[in-house]
Amino acid sequence: MLLVLACDKEYDRIIPYVPVHFAIDLNIANDLTVTGNSMVFPGGYGGVIIYCEVPYEIYYAYDGACTYDYISGCRIGNQGVVGTCSCCGSEFLLMGGAYPSRGPASFPLQQYHVSVVRNTLQVYN
């Protein structure tokens, strides 16, 4: 059990901490009102990818920095449900945790909190 906790602490520090707090109006970013769509917004360490699982209800927000090589400026490009690293080619499934589906990355993308209030998403850490 101690080993698992130690690994969690190490993982929490892969992507450097950057304060994140912004709002997205779904009337303007209406691509996010369609299941399976994603968009990138400025913020975080490498941009913030927002993925829509259930419109107006369930959204995920991830840092766009690749967990394999964030130092060299590698960023995740989004295409619907899949995010792909521009440098190493790692692919991440944006639904339910952004775990890598193809390596060399072995850690999921850094996740941020998302709250839905009326037609607005609040993204924060």
Q: Which two tokens stand for residue 33?
A: 């009102």
SS3 at position 116? strand
Task: Reply yes or no on whether the pLDDT at 87 is more than 50.
Answer: yes
**DSSP string across 32-99:** GGSTT-EEEES-TTT-EEEEEEETTTEEEEEE-B-SS-TTTT-BEEEETTEEEETTT--EEETTTT--
Mean pLDDT of 74-94: 92
State residue 4's pLDDT score. 43
**DSSP string across 28-48:** TSGGGGSTT-EEEES-TTT-E
Mean pLDDT of 31-41: 95
Mean pLDDT of 42-60: 95
* Cut 0.75: pTM above it: yes
Nearest-angstrom CA–CA distance, 71 and 96: 25
Q: Which domains does the chain have, with CATH numbers?
A: 2-124 (2.102.10.10)
